[in-house]
Structure 1
Amino acid sequence: MQETALLNMVPRTSTSKGANKLLRNNGYLPGNIFGKGMESISIAVKKDEFKKSIKEYGRNAVFKLVDTNNKEYTVMTKEITVAPLINEISHLNFQLVSLSEAIKQEVAFKIIGTEFLESKRLLLNSHVDSVPVSGLPHDIPHELEIDVSSMNSGDSLLFKDIKLPEGITSDVDPELKIITVKGLKRQEVAASE
């Protein structure tokens, strides 16, 4: 079970482009909290605190957002918008969650062991970067690790080959191809030497 990250938030009174730019210039990230049966709440969190929390707890962390009146919201990050030209986070969407109800969340794959494939002159082709999984918020993993170090040319990894953590399920097709490995053709090997 993962820990809950604590983040302070402030309400946003204006959601205009200019107001959001001013927030960003002052070190805040504009965002929204949404959930079933509630109106969206416009908020802002400190950019440095959010980035530190994501680094420490992971992309699928459970956050306790606390407003200036000490009202708490238990949330998970649903969407992180990145400004493409500057590659910086520009907006956040948080989903209100209950720690006792299963949710659906996208989980990324972390591929390890690629250096072994490279040493054997093999190419890795990743077909899928992430998959939707379901489970209790604290059980949702930050990422699903895939070790490719023992794979050989012609090998494929299907979704059914990945062991999900206890309490986590997915409705992804078990035959979904996640990774394939192939060898370099002789011409490619000669050209790279």
Structure 2
Amino acid sequence: MSDVNVLEAVVRTEFGKGAARRTRRAGNVPAVLYGHQSDPQHLAVNAQEFAAILRAHGTNAVLNLVIDGTPQLALTKSVVVHPIRRYIEHADLLIVKRGEKVTADVNIVVTGDAAAGTLVTQEATTVSIEAEALNIPESIEVSVEGAEEGTQITAADLSLPKGVELAVDPETLIVNVITAPVVEDPEADTTETSEAAEGDDAAEADAESAE
């Protein structure tokens, strides 16, 4: 087994919210390993080591788990992060085998600058792809350099690495280039408002004089 992304794991025998909290207090992340028609395994992995792997390889990281001494290849399928304190609350891991193809959501990174006077809207931040478990790209780049108004980039237009295939409708809209909205000068509005107010004040003064 490769020594890349090796992560020690122990089998959890306690379940429920209370057990999960105790696992996290001990510096671990509660995780569930499933797939290949096997019974789900409830595990605990070191929180700092797991977080370091995710930072280095993204949320589709392939893990070389060592479960109580037994090696097992797994894909990080989903990660739940606390919305405020930002620690990892839970992870779902999927059993994989070398050479096996899996489906994963990969981040889309937009690069370049579109033509002047346009606005680039990213309609999708991820795209679902199918690839071998050990060859899932961390991200897929799409360039909008010089793109004119009306340019639309769909999933079919993405440049995918060798061995990677789309797992979504090819017509899925990824990027849309539109005309940039005109921003009105707020100072002009303020001036017009002030002038209107001064006019109202003058009219009121004339009315009072007439009375």
* TM bin (shorter chain): 0.7 to 0.9
Q: How does 1:48-63 map to 2 (within 5 A)?
A: 48-63=48-63
Sequence identity percentage: 26
Q: Which residue of structure 1 lines up, in the alignment, with residue 46 of structure 2?
A: 46
Tell me if structure 1 keeps the 8 A contact 2:130–2:165. Answer: yes
Q: Which residue of structure 2 lines up, in the alignment, with residue 91 of structure 1?
A: 90
Tell me if structure 2 keeps the 8 A contact 1:4–1:62. Answer: no
Q: Which runs of 5+ in 2 are unaligned?
A: 188-211
Shift of residue 88, structure 1, vs aligned partner: 2.9
Equivalent of residue 130 in structure 1, options 114, 126, 131: 126
Aligned residues: 186
For residues 6-49 of structure 1, what are the alpha-carbon distances to aligned partners after superposition, in whole Å with 9 as ceiling and x for unaligned?
Answer: 11112111112111112212221100100122000000111110
Q: Which residue of structure 1 lines up, in the alignment, with residue 175 of structure 2?
A: 179
Q: Which runs of 5+ in 1 are unaligned?
A: none
Would you identify which runs of 4 or more consecutive aligned residues in structure 1 move more than 6 Å?
Answer: none
Tell me if structure 1 keeps the 8 A contact 2:142–2:159. Answer: no
- 1:167–1:16 CA distance, 2 compared to 1 (3 A): same
Letter in 2 for 1:54: L
Task: Tell me the SS of whatever aligns to 1:66.
Answer: strand
Tell me if structure 1 keeps the 8 A contact 2:9–2:46. Answer: yes
Q: How does 1:62-77 map to 2 (within 5 A)?
A: 62-68=62-68, 70-77=69-76
Tell me if structure 2 keeps the 8 A contact 1:125–1:179. Answer: yes
TM-score by length of 1: 0.86
Letter in 1 for 2:71: E
In structure 1, how many angstroms separate the alpha carbons of the residues matched to 2:186 and 2:87?
38
Q: Which residue of structure 1 lines up, in the alignment, with residue 140 of structure 2?
A: 144
Letter in 2 for 1:83: H
Tell me if structure 1 keeps the 8 A contact 2:105–2:127. Answer: yes
Shift of residue 76, structure 1, vs aligned partner: 0.3
Letter in 2 for 1:158: T
Q: How does 1:7-22 map to 2 (within 5 A)?
A: 7-22=7-22
Task: Tell me the SS of whatever aligns to 2:156.
Answer: helix
Letter in 2 for 1:105: A
Shift of residue 87, structure 1, vs aligned partner: 3.3
